[in-house]
């Protein structure tokens, strides 16, 4: 018996890397898993049914239940089909893990419109669209008097929390996901649903290309801090019944480390009680900045 026994889980982008680790660990913990993956390259091009099918085979080999889904999570109709896949295959949906994404790294000055649109689409819309249809399902259940214990687990990034040089589109999308998570937590609680996000650091096709030295696997038997499967335990717990009441949070997770990210909060303020003259503003802002904590530098700055 695992902590997610008989729960039905969708994991997007589950054919490789972090998402694959999520899907396998959910299955080990007794969940029935919809493995979603387009089988695209790291930059989002191409596609294959192979990766999702391989994960399904691995889950079934361990005695678990899983089905593959190849829908595009950022396509409106595809996102709806994805949610329906879980309901048709297993009769319900309890957990949605939004993980799918890719990179088109560029400096702001060289980013093309197509690159910007592609990254924002897959990450931000690709988180929103499946959640939109999962939320409608849970709301309908709640209206029908059925017990709902739903979970949305989103995937932000340190790039979204602090920024990352050369990853403007990715950072903006991941920051948007963190903000979206706060809104989902506030809106979906009435239906029995929690919403949280993770900001993981692990070795994937995306991070290996950008941070090759940092992401390298150890050559000996030492703990592999950057192994992608290290992220799964927190995500699986967030998907379990035991996490009820934990909502609206962003967790940083890397290796054996779990941290609660401390995001935007109201800081030092000055209130004149009247309209400011522009010449007055400089000294006031400088004083407020001296009283506020310094921002964490962007990655690569």
> Which one of the listed residues 125, 156, 171, 174 is annotated catalytic?
174
Helix (H, G, I), strand (E, B) or coil at 155: strand
Mean pLDDT across 81-105? 96
Query: Cα(251)–Cα(6) distance, rounded to whole angstroms?
Result: 25
pLDDT band at 24 (very low <50, low <70, confident <90, very high): very high
pLDDT per residue over 172-228, tens digit each? Answer: 999 999 999 999 999 999 999 999 999 999 876 555 555 556 656 767 778 888 899
Of 135, 156, 157, 171, catalytic: 157
Q: Is it the case that residue 154 has pLDDT exceeding 90?
A: yes
CA distance 141 to 150: 11
pLDDT per position as a tens digit, 45-70: 444 458 899 999 999 999 999 999 99
- What pLDDT sits at residue 47? 41
Buried b (16+ CB within 10 A) or exposed e, 42-76: bbbeeeeeebbbbbbebbeeeebbbbbbbbbbbee
Contact 25, 59 (CB under 8 A): no
Instruction: Give pLDDT, residue 206.
Output: 58
Residue-level pLDDT at 203: 78
pLDDT value, residue 135: 98
Is 174 known to be catalytic? yes
pLDDT digits (tens, 9 = 90+) for 249-282: 999 999 999 999 988 889 999 999 999 999 999 9
Residue 119's alpha-carbon distances to 14, 74, 131, in angstroms, are: 18, 11, 18
Rounded CA separation 268/291 (Å) = 7
Domains of the chain: 8-260 (3.40.50.720)
Mean pLDDT, residues 127-153: 98
**What pLDDT is stored for residue 263 in this prediction?**
83
Does the annotation mark 135 as catalytic? Answer: no
Catalytic: which of 125, 137, 164, 170?
Answer: 170
Active site (annotated) includes residue 157: yes
20-24, 35-39, 77-81, 167-171: lowest mean pLDDT where? Answer: 35-39
């Amino acid at each position: 018996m695992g902590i997610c026994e008989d729960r039905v889980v969708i994991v997007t982008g589950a054919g490789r890397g972090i998402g694959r680790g999520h899907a396998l660990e959910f299955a080990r913990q007794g969940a029935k898993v919809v493995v979603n993956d387009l089988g695209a390259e790291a930059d989002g091009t191409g596609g294959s049914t192979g990766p999702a099918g391989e994960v399904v085979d691995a889950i079934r080999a361990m005695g678990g239940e899983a089905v593959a889904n190849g829908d595009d999570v950022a396509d409106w109709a595809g996102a709806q089909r994805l949610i329906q896949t879980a309901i048709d295959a297993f009769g319900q949906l309890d957990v949605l893990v939004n993980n799918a994404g890719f990179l088109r790294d560029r400096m702001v000055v060289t980013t093309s419109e197509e690159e910007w649109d592609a990254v924002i689409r897959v990450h931000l819309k690709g988180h929103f669209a499946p959640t939109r249809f999962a939320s409608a399902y849970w709301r309908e259940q709640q209206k029908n008097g059925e017990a709902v214990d739903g979970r949305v687990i989103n995937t932000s990034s340190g790039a979204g929390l602090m920024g990352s040089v050369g990853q403007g589109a990715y950072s903006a999308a991941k920051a948007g996901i963190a903000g979206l998570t706060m809104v989902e937590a506030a809106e979906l609680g009435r239906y029995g649903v929690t919403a949280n996000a993770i900001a993981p650091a692990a070795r994937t096709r995306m991070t290996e290309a950008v941070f090759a030295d940092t992401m390298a696997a150890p050559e000996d038997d030492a703990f592999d801090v950057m192994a992608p499967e290290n992220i799964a335990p927190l995500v699986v717990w967030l998907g379990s019944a035991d996490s009820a009441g934990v909502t609206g949070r962003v967790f940083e997770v890397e290796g054996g480390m779990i941290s609660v990210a401390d995001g935007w909060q109201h800081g030092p303020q000055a209130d004149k009680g009247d309209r400011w003259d522009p010449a007055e503003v400089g000294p006031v802002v400088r004083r407020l900045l001296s009283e506020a904590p310094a921002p964490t530098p962007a990655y690569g700055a």
